[in-house]
Structure 1
Amino acid sequence: MSGKDDYYNRSKQQGYRARSAYKLKQIDEEADLFERGDTVVDLGAAPGGWLQVAAEEVGEAGTVVGVDLQRIDDLDDHDVETIRGDMTEERTRHYLREAVDEEGADVVVSDMAPNMTGEYTLDHARSVHLARQAFDAADELLASGGDFVVKVFQGDDLDAFRDDVSEAFQYVRTVSPPASRDSSSEVYLVGKGYTRSPVAEGDRVEVTVEEEGDEGDGIAYVDGYTLFVDGDVGETLTVEVTDVKPRFAFAERVDADGSD
């Protein structure tokens, strides 16, 4: 029996739903993904092995959400929310956004793989397509500074995909966990420190207030990204960004002389 087969036996003995649970454990050991109290989203989560590992790592104070087209049986030992649906559909994304709340997710992970055809070029292309879908979801759900893990098969399109992921994170590494089968071409891209928003805390930008928010504050936009500011509709002003969220930021007015 090979060493890789041992992971199957260990998963049965230790109560994990899939041997792939050890892949996430090993990725976490190398990339330091989880902290107590984190919010984690698992894309393509069935049967739930990665959900079990994430729930163990974030503890009772954390939040773990799994989504899959297949039904995910309840996890008896962990309080995990599951959503049955297609993550590319707006209805499912709406439920995911509600689950992570406005603070966003600390970690988004995906172990999705295509149905294998045996034609390597096609299987690779499909894996990259799935990985890009996971990346799009992470782009929408992650909080500033969050982390992303996604499985992809090695091949001609991997470098271009990695370059795209690198633009959204402080750095990206490629991880091949020992629990991956010897015959597998899979690798995991791990993006650390989500930085996709066009502004960062401390940035000063000139904006025009275009709308009034529900709370009476002004709404301005930077490259389509929402800024909540203290100003009236139609007013153009310089603001300093004070707090960045996944889908919006808060900014304070800066006087013409440079003082707040």
Structure 2
Amino acid sequence: MKGPVKGSGGRELTVRVKTARGRTASSQRWLERQLNDPYVARSKREGYRSRAAYKLIEIDDKHHILAPGKRVVDLGAAPGGWSQVAVQRVGSTDADPRVVAIDYLEMDELPGVKLFIKDFLDEDAPALLEQALGGPADVVLSDMAAPTTGHQQTDHLRTIYLAEVGADFALNVLRPGGHFLSKVFRGGAEGSLLTTLKQNFATVHHIKPPASRAGSVELFVLAKGFKGRKADVDADAEPGDAGEDGSGWQP
């Protein structure tokens, strides 16, 4: 089976995958998407470990959260696409590592990355990451997502929980002015997360980068300009305090 192929006029032709014994319909659709996805082809040409690298590239090209010398934590790092982008943009090296990554999935080591093969939800994981950083973080990235169940609301709640845990970690390790970027899923349960981020950051942005498939429920929340952690949520805050539409999102 081959990926996109060129027709006589030079345009790409869509590849259709024949049904194979033992392959489910969903796995067949996934394989067809992979074979016909220009970001997958580009990642192979340019040496990135996953198409997800382009999501971070597109977000950073617009919002400029990564810069030379910054310290970065990558939560849910496997297979390493975001870590690769972070290494390039902050100038991390083995001699001066500026990127710390963690995932419970196996992941090959990367130059310039301190890697932990460990569940971020383990009790000792946050302390290990803080120690490895060697100082306050400038950026906390989280591409964590719970294994999908096929039930959209359940998947949304589980992923929002991971985003909330990542945000709590970010509030403990970021230096003033730092940034937090996290994956979320559409579903309506992110109100508490947004309230926390609006309290502690100058701006909160809701992002769907071009590299995120249009049909996916995946979104990203970017909180910029850490103001310092607020001890308690203001229970009397009006909806308008979160943004003009009450949602907390800014474009």
Q: What TM-score bracket applies, with the shorter chain setting the length?
A: 0.7 to 0.9
- Given candidates 99, 109, 114, the residue that maps to 1:74 is 109
Structure of greater Rg: 1
Q: Which runs of 5+ in 2 are unaligned?
A: 1-13, 15-32, 233-251
Which residue does 1:138 correspond to in 2? 170
The 5-angstrom pairing of residues 1-260 of structure 1 reads 1=14, 5-60=37-92, 63-75=98-110, 78-101=111-134, 103-197=135-229
Contact 1:36 1:62 in 2 (8 A): no
Q: How far off is 1:43 after superposition?
A: 0.2
Residues in 1 aligned to 2:229 and 2:100: alpha-carbon distance in whole angstroms: 23
Per-residue CA deviations over 1:183-230 (Å, capped at 9, x if unaligned) read 1011110010112335xxxxxxxxxxxxxxxxxxxxxxxx69xxxxxx
Query: Cα RMSD between the aligned structures?
Result: 2.0
Contact 1:105 1:143 in 2 (8 A): yes
Q: How far off is 1:159 after superposition?
A: 3.3
Q: Percent identity?
A: 40
Q: Which structure features the higher share of helix residues?
A: 2
Contact 1:87 1:137 in 2 (8 A): no
Per-residue CA deviations over 1:91-115 (Å, capped at 9, x if unaligned) read 22121111122x3100000111121
Which residue does 1:204 correspond to in 2? none
Residues in 1 aligned to 2:165 and 2:53: alpha-carbon distance in whole angstroms: 22
Q: Which structure features the higher share of strand residues?
A: 1
Contact 1:40 1:63 in 2 (8 A): yes
Q: State TM-score, norm by structure 2.
A: 0.74
Residues in 1 aligned to 2:108 and 2:151: alpha-carbon distance in whole angstroms: 32
Per-residue CA deviations over 1:11-46 (Å, capped at 9, x if unaligned) read 011100000000000110121111100000000101
Q: Which runs of 5+ in 1 are unaligned?
A: 199-222, 225-260
Contact 1:105 1:141 in 2 (8 A): yes
Which residue does 2:18 correspond to in 1? none
Residues in 1 aligned to 2:58 and 2:201: alpha-carbon distance in whole angstroms: 21
